[in-house]
Structure 1
Amino acid sequence: MLIAQLTDLHIAAGRRLAYRKVDTAGALEKAIDHVMALVPRPDVVLFTGDIGDLGTAEEYALVGEILAKLTIPYFMVPGNHDRRGPLRAAFPHATPVANGAGFVNYVVDDFPLRLIALDTLDEGRAGGILLPAQLDWLQRVLSDGTDRDCAIFMHHPPFRTGIAHMDAQNLGAGADELARIVAEHRDTIRAVFCGHIHRPIHTIWSGVPVMVGPSVAHQVALDLRADGPSAFVMEPPGLHLHVWDANAKSLTTHLSYIGRYDGPHPFFGPDGKLIV
């Protein structure tokens, strides 16, 4: 099973440039072309939040236009730049929760790896939150007796990355209880996929691998100083490709850069012969 993870699109209405510099709509178009050209093609695409920049219906309408070329099943969770109501209205198939549900929490059981969506949005705030009702829901899902291998996908990372201005707005309330639940079910939770930081970051948290995906548009500057300022950089955009091997019960993550770069070139030795 091949999972493509795209995150932090930050699409603005009217194709407005983010920070008066970044063409996020154009970046998403390139990302979708990249995904559709992959061989093998992914089985599913996960969008881990910040689909829009302000969370308006106009933004999501533009996202929908761009995603019309994406013929692969895809699912979404909101990020801190999103709003639940407009997001669900625009993408009901990608946020399959029951009518009247207060959060975008759901389970996708259509693939060899079970996918569990967690909504960490605290509307109006940059940091994330998981309320007791959501954590109870997660515990029930993980304890339903199926014992299926699964991956959780959400926006806010639950651990400190060392990028101070982003750590200040990571998952806050509920993080300790989430850690307890994940540790309890670490035999079936194969990974947690997050966004928010705009950089590829990996760690082991509560006994489970956590992968933060890079933004498809722009990156947060890598600055590990305690007083490092908030800043973005225009590094090569990318996405994560997660490979799930159900037989080996292993998950491998690859960073796939978006764009055209020189190569691939075959390797030749000093004697001019192809190295295999």
Structure 2
Amino acid sequence: MLIAQLSDPHVREPGVRYQGVVDSNRMFAQALAHLDTLDRRPDLIVLTGDLVDHGRPAEYREVRRLLAATTTIPWLAMAGNHDEREAFRAAFHDQACLPREGPLHFCVDDHPVRIVAVDSCLPGLHHGQVDAAALAWLHDTLARQPNKPTLLMLHHPPFMSGIPYLDAYRCMDAEGLEAVVRAHPQVERVLCGHVHRSMLRRWAGTVVCTAPSTTTEICLQLHPDAAPASVVGPAGCLLHLWDPVHGMVSHVSHIGAFEGPYPFA
């Protein structure tokens, strides 16, 4: 099974640019089109949050239009801190796995790899947290299929990256989450968005992958006094390839036109 992970498109109303600078809608359309150029078509797209920038219904209408216009690959969407929970629920009312009230946790068990999403968002805040009720839901959900390979989706990374202006917005107080995940070794990956960069970390007995954004890239600055900064590009996505014999391998796939291909490897 091949799973494509797109994250943080920050779609705006038609004609409006993200942060007044970037045509995030066009870049999201390009990211979706990119998946159709791959030599193996993904079986599923997962969208790991911040689908829109302000949580407005008009932004969600544009997300749905872009998804309908550019891809026929099945997809699953989860919310990020820039999404508004009830507007998200209304926009994706036809995503049958979404609960009708409360946090937007869900589980999809229709594929060779199980997809579990935990809503780590705190309405009105940029950082994340997984409370006791969410931990209990996650434990019970994972316990129902202890032998099936599972991807856990979480918008906020549960670790320190070393980038000061990102670490202030991570998933806070993650010890309880770590304990639950560690108790369920079938979790092959924890897939996150939020940070607009690709990062890897060994955590809770598994691997956490953060996806690049389909729009801006947040700058890699490790000085503790570094000021927030972003650049436009390179946009990218992650591809997670599951094989029942060889397990899971994750790749970064850059989006754009590049020189080549040349006949060597």
Confirm or deny a common fold (TM above 0.5).
yes
Match for residue 7 of structure 2?
7
Indicate conservation of the 8 Å contact 1:54/1:81, yes or no.
yes
Deviations 1:62-109 (A, max 9, x none): 01111112211111111110011111111123462232x301111111
Structure 1 pair 145–95 and aligned structure 2 pair: CA distance change class (3 A): closer
Tell me the equivalent position of 1:121: 121
Separation of aligned partners in 2, 1:145 and 1:28: 34
Residue 80 (1) aligns with residue 81 (2): yes
Quick one: distance in 2 between partners of 1:155 and 1:265?
Answer: 37
TM-score, normalization: structure 2?
A: 0.96
From 181, 187, 190, the counterpart of 1:189:
187
Q: Residue 27 of structure 1 aligns to which amino acid in structure 2?
A: M
> Which amino acid in the other structure matches residue 177 of structure 1?
G
Matches within 5 A, 1:96-135: 96-99=97-100, 101-135=101-135
Deviations 1:104-143 (A, max 9, x none): 1111111111110111111100001112111100000111
> Given residue 176 of structure 1, which amino acid in structure 2 is its aligned partner?
E
Distance 1:152 1:18 in 2: 28
Ranges in structure 1 where 5+ consecutive residues have no aligned partner:
268-275
% of aligned pairs identical?
36
Structure 1: distance between partners of 2:219 and 2:139: 36
| Structure 2 residue matching 1:14: 3-state secondary structure | coil
Which residues in structure 2 correspond to 1:100-249 (within 5 Å)?
101-173=101-173, 175-185=174-184, 187-248=185-246
For the residue of structure 1 that corresponds to 2:128, the secondary structure is coil
Secondary structure of the residue aligned to 2:31 is: helix
Q: Which structure is larger by alpha-carbon Rg, 1 or 2?
A: 1
Taking a change above 3 Å as real, the CA distance of residues 95 and 36 of structure 1, as seen in their structure-2 partners, is: farther
State the match for 2:250 in structure 1: 253
After superposing on structure 2, the runs of 4+ consecutive aligned residues of structure 1 that deviate more than 3 Å are: none
Deviation at 1:179, TM superposition (A): 0.4
Q: Is the 8 A contact 1:127 1:168 kept in 2?
A: yes
Q: Any idea what SS the aligned residue of 2:58 has?
A: helix
Give the paired residue count: 264
Cα-Cα RMSD: 1.3
Q: Any conservation in 2 of the 1:88–1:95 contact (CA below 8 Å)?
A: no
The alpha carbon displacement at 1:49 in A equals: 0.4
What corresponds to 1:39 in structure 2?
Answer: 39
For the structure 1 residues 220 and 192, does the alpha-carbon distance in structure 2 shift closer, same or farther, using more than 3 Å as the test? Answer: same
Query: Structure 2 counterpart of 1:167, which letter?
Result: D
- Please give the alpha-carbon distance, in whole angstroms, between the structure 1 residues aligned to 2:118 and 2:94: 16
Contact 2:99 2:105 in 1 (8 A): no
SS in 2 for 1:210: strand
Structure 1 residues 231 and 221, CA, compared in 2 at 3 Å: closer, same or farther?
same
Unaligned runs of 5+ in 2: none
Amino acid at match of 1:192: V
- 1:262 corresponding residue in structure 2: 259
Contact 1:48 1:79 (8 Å CA) reproduced = yes
Q: Is the 2:146–2:186 contact (alpha carbons within 8 Å) kept by the matching residues of 1?
A: no
Change (3 A) 1:255 1:95: farther
What is the aligned partner in structure 2 of residue 70 from structure 1? 71
Given residue 82 of structure 2, which amino acid in structure 1 is its aligned partner? H
Amino acid at match of 2:153: F
